[in-house]
A and B are shown apart, each in its own frame.
Chain A
Amino acid sequence: MLIELALRNLARTKVRSTLAIIGIVIGVMAISSIGIFGESLKAVILENFKDVANEVIITPNYIHGYTSIDARTVRKIETIPFAETVIPVKSESALVEYRGKKTYVTVYGIDVRKTKDLFELERGTYKGCLVGSKIADFFKLRVGSRITVAGKDFRVTGIIKEGARFDINPNYAVILPLRDFDRVFNDKEYSMVIVKVRSIDKIDAFKKAVDKIVNRKENKVSVFEMKMIIERIKNVFGKVTLFLMAIAGVSLLVAGISILNIMLMSTIERTKEIGLMRAIGAYRETILKLFLTEALILGLVGSAVGGALSFLGGYSIDILILKTAKYVFAPSSIVYVFLGIAFGILTALISAMYPAWKASKLEPIEALRYE
């Protein structure tokens, strides 16, 4: 009956109630749409790194005077059970020339069987010299072109697909098979070791094993987790999303104020009714509940509609800015829709608290006499 009464009270001032609902709809839609967009943006960026999440990079501990990793250390790392693939990498900065053009790039030496674990190719095969896409663009290289690396000639067998890594920038790299690299540079030791750990939750165990086996006497190497970098990115984008949502939240605040306003008007208009209800046996909290129920209905309806429309909003922003809508219905995006709905309902309830309290505090006889 209380709900019925609340519904009819809202229906009494249809235009007013509708406007209040529209306010909530806009507020919830703004918050949730931006939430969806923020989440999609994060997903789009992290998608580039999804293959490297289980990787760790082992570098020489420069602080303790180590500038390279020796073959014995690499073999020790290979014995750690959590390591699925161990890729030792040599690197040097070198002059690369092609048809009169020249540039300095970082040249990497990687076992020919393992390059496929790190890079995808746009064209060609993994078996020889690989060049990054930007290098290829710069020199206008094709598979089969002959380039000069630190004075020695190599035939390009593959062009690396554009991508992003934290350890090696594939777009500007020149990758040589280890044997060829050694022919040019004569480096005995490795500049880093990339390890793919069996699964993300084994990374901590792997790190501990490295400390025990490799760093037992001296801190020879440092271990960087990709996971950590990815977490940082997530964190930053989470904050950006939150900030944008807070801005959108202003519209919900305005909606809340409009509910406060209409509820105050309605307590004044219905003073006599409140007095009557108190006279015939309504407790103070019954009056409180009645007004809060009215606000709750406004909040529920507004939030439900706003929540539904936020998919449309999120979809539009995603298409417009990210050119893809595949993350609109992702579970992590839907969380923001529920968040928006929760905020919408909460706003309505909080806004109604003061008017409801005021109505419940009316003395029955004064309310009945009110003109």
Chain B
Amino acid sequence: MIELVDVVKKYRIGIHEVVALNGVSLSVRDGEFVVIMGPSGSGKSTLLHLIGCLDKPTSGKVIIDGLDTSKLSDRELTELRRDKIGFVFQQYYLIPTLTALENVELPMVFKGVPKEKRHSRAEELLELVGLKGKEDRKPKELSGGEQQRVAIARALANEPSILLCDEPTGNLDTKSGKVVMDIIKRLNVEEGVTVVLVTHDPSLSDYGDRVVRIRDGRIIHAD
């Protein structure tokens, strides 16, 4: 369960103050697939980052599974991200020096999962995203779609209950984008993973159980 209560996020850029989110309240049930749509600069990515505990709200509350994240230390937030949340970014953000398999292993390394166990789990996950046989490839030896699938496998490494996707198909062609979206949808349906997906691409709205529209830092429509 994700709950946002009257969340405000302000940035200071030079002498200007920018209000990215202006009093957003939202709740996402366990197992739900929510698509947040809005034009660029609407504050949708900021919203996702706040849910993912990558950033802190200026005011308001972000509550993940009953935990008020504003009360957590940096260490506790790190553990929350590590254990409960999986991230999929538009730019994939794979570590270029590590192979596909090692990239998937990385969150488990941070958690202290023993080598054998993380190795076999990473292999399973790569199989799940259809990359069996490409475990030893470095990111640059993979296509964009394949890299994004590695990123999804990595996001799932520590069996998170929440998957946060920031324009996951933004850098992909239609075909690869569909493969990636089908995997995300399958995880939501079959594994019951809560998905919050941020996009400006209207064609992705069909994947969600619910679409939340955001503009100028405010939710303008939720159905």
Contact = CB atoms under 8 A, between A and B. Distances in A.
Contact of B74 (A5, A12, A284): A284
Contact of B110 (A8, A280, A363, A368): A280
A281 B93 contact: no
A281 B79 CA distance: 6
A281 B157 CA distance: 11
Given A281-B78, A281-B158, A283-B75, A365 B54 contact: yes
| Size bracket of the A interface | 20 to 34
Contacts of B78: 278, 281-284
B165 to A, nearest CB: 13
B95 A280 contact: no
A261 interface: no
A93 B153 CA distance: 98
Contact of B54 (A279, A282, A283): A279
A9 B97 contact: yes
Contacts of A272: 93
Given A279-B81, A280-B82, A281-B110, A365 B55 contact: yes
A2 B115 CA distance: 12
A125 to B, nearest CB: 80
Contacts of B52: 279
A336 to B, nearest CB: 37
B33 interface: no
Contacts of A11: 97
Contact of A5 (B89, B98, B115): B98
Given A11-B97, A276-B93, A281 B107 contact: yes
Interface string A1-17: 11011001101100000
A273 interface: yes
Contacts of A1: 102, 105-106, 109, 115
Contact of A365 (B49, B83, B98): B49
A328 B191 CA distance: 69
Interface in A181-236: none
Contact of B97 (A8, A278, A282, A365): A8
Contacts of A284: 74-75, 78
B161 to A, nearest CB: 14
B54 A368 contact: yes
Contacts of A283: 75, 78, 110
Contact of B111 (A9, A278, A281): A281
Nearest to A273: B95
A165 to B, nearest CB: 67
Nearest to B55: A365
B109 A276 contact: no
Interface in A118-149: none
A277 interface: yes
B83 A281 contact: yes
B44 interface: no
A2 B75 contact: no
B76 to A, nearest CB: 10
Contacts of B109: 1-2
Nearest to A367: B54
Contacts of B155: 280
Nearest to A280: B107
Contacts of B95: 5, 273, 276-277
A364 to B, nearest CB: 5
A365 B83 CA distance: 18
B154 interface: yes
Nearest to A1: B109
Given A5-B95, A275-B93, 13 more contacts: A2-B109, A5-B98, A9-B97, A11-B97, A272-B93, A273-B93, A276-B95, A279-B54, A280-B107, A280-B155, A281-B78, A284-B75, A364-B54
Q: Which 9 A-B pairs have the closest CB atoms?
A: A281-B82, A8-B97, A281-B110, A365-B54, A276-B93, A1-B109, A365-B55, A280-B107, A364-B54
20 contacts: A2-B109, A5-B95, A5-B98, A11-B97, A12-B96, A275-B93, A276-B95, A277-B95, A280-B81, A280-B87, A280-B107, A280-B155, A281-B81, A281-B82, A281-B83, A281-B158, A282-B110, A284-B78, A286-B110, A364-B55
